[in-house]
Amino acid sequence: MKIIYMGTPDFAVPCLQKLYDLGHEIAGVFCRTDKPQGRKMILTPPPVKVKALELGIPVYQPKSLKTDEAYDILLKINPELVVVVAYGMILPKRILDLPQKGCVNIHASLLPKLRGAAPIQWSVLNGDTETGITSMQMDEGLDTGNMLISEKVTIGENETSEELWDRLSLLAPEVLERTLKAIETGTLNPQKQDSSLSTYAPQLSKELSPVDFGKDCAEVHNKIRGLYSWPCAETVINGKKIKLLKSVKLTDLSGRPGEVLESNGKLIIACKTGAVEILSLQAEGKKAMSASDYLRGNPIEKGIII
C-alpha cells in the first residue's frame, strides 16, 4: 500500500521500521518540528525524522495540519492509507477523508480507556495492572474511532512508565502489521467504542510532581514510577529539592505520613498507610544516584517529617 506515516517520538520509530520491512510504499513521513533540547538548547530533530532520513523517506514537518500547505502535500501524494503513531497533532476532517482506506491510529491503551496524550504514564499513575495497544480507525474525536485490533500486556508492580513505554513500542508494530493485513484482505471487524467506559489521559506537567505522603503507599509508589523519567516525582528533604526516581512499597511498616523511618543505608518514608523505600533519587543540580550513595554524603535524620 502507498502509505503516509505520521509520528514523532522514539515510541513511533519501531512502527515506521515495520512498515519499511513489510515493503509498503512509504511516500512520506510527517513529524513535529525540530525542538531545542538540553542545557545548550541545541535544535534537535525528532527520532522519527532521524529514522525516516536513514531509510531515505521524504520528511515533512508542517507546524499545523490545518493549512492548505499540509493538505496540498497530502493531496499530491494521494496515499491509500495514513498511519498515525504518537504524532502529536489533531488531523482535520479533510485529511481524515483524503486516503482511500482512511487513517489508522496505533494507540497505547486498551480503548476506550485512557484516551488522550499520555496513556502509558497514566496507566501506571492509576495503578492499572494491565494495558495494551489498540489500532483504531480515526475520526474527528479524540481517540473515539472504531477499534480494530488490540493486544493486552500486564503491568509489573514496580514497572516504571519509561519501561512500559519501551515494551509497548515493541508491541505496537505487531498490532500494526495485523491491522494492515486485515485491511488488505478485507477481514477487519471494527468495533464501536463504549464511550461510557472511557477515561482520559491528559498531557503530563511538572505540576504533578510534588509527592503527598498523606496518600497510601501504593499511590505514592505509583506516582514515583508513573512520572519517571519525566517530569519525575519530587519532594523536599533538608531544604533540598529531590527527584524520587525509583521505589518499592512496604505495606508492613507504618508511621506518621512523611516520617523518615530509616536513613542508615536505606531511605524509607512512611505514608498514610504503609511506606515506600526510595531506591534511587536525584538532588537538584546533581546526577541520579542510589539512595544509599546519596545518604553517605547527605545524612538525613531518622524521625523527621518530610
**Domain 206-297 in CATH: superfamily?**
Formyl transferase, C-terminal domain (3.10.25.10)
List the domain boundaries for the chain: 2-197, 206-297
Give yes or no for residue 251 having a pLDDT over 90.
Answer: yes
Q: What is the CA radius of gyration of the chain?
A: 22
As a whole number of angstroms, the distance between CA 150 and CA 266 comes to: 41
Output b/e per residue, 219-229; b: 16+ Cβ within 10 A.
bbbbbbbbbbe
Query: pLDDT (tens digit, 9 = 90+) per residue, 259-287?
Result: 999 999 999 999 999 999 999 999 999 99
Question: What are residue 147's phi and psi, to 5 degrees?
Answer: -75, 140
Q: Predicted confidence band at 296 (pLDDT cuts at 50, 70, 90)? A: very high
As a whole number of angstroms, the distance between CA 222 and CA 230 comes to: 14
What angle do the packed helices 13-21 and 47-54 form, to 10 degrees?
Answer: 20
Query: pLDDT (tens digit, 9 = 90+) per residue, 109-166?
Result: 999 999 999 999 999 999 999 999 999 999 999 999 999 999 999 999 999 999 999 9
Give yes or no for residue 52 having a pLDDT over 90.
Answer: yes
- Give the residue from 133, 203, 131 showing the smallest Cα distance to 175: 133
Long-range Cβ contact pairs of 227-236 (< 8 A, separation 24 or more): 227/121, 227/125, 227/161, 228/160, 228/161, 228/162, 229/160, 229/162, 230/204, 231/204, 231/205, 231/206, 232/282, 233/209, 234/209, 234/210, 235/210, 235/211, 235/306, 236/306
Residue 18 pLDDT: 98
Place of cell 545518604: 295
Class of domain 2-197: alpha beta
Query: pLDDT (tens digit, 9 = 90+) per residue, 204-234?
Result: 999 999 999 999 999 999 999 999 999 999 9
Average of per-residue pLDDT across 231-260: 98
- HSE of 144, CA atoms in CB hemisphere, 13 A: 8
Q: What is the mean pLDDT of the chain?
A: 97
Do 158 and 225 form a contact (C-beta atoms < 8 A)? yes
Residue 51 pLDDT: 98
Please tell me whether the peptide bond between 229 and the residue prior to it is cis, using omega within 30 degrees of 0. Answer: yes
Give yes or no for residue 81 having a pLDDT over 90.
Answer: yes
H-state helical runs in the chain: 13-21, 47-54, 68-77, 93-96, 119-125, 161-185, 217-226, 291-297
Residue 78 pLDDT: 98
Percentage of the chain modeled with pLDDT above 90: 98
Percentage of the chain modeled with pLDDT above 70: 100
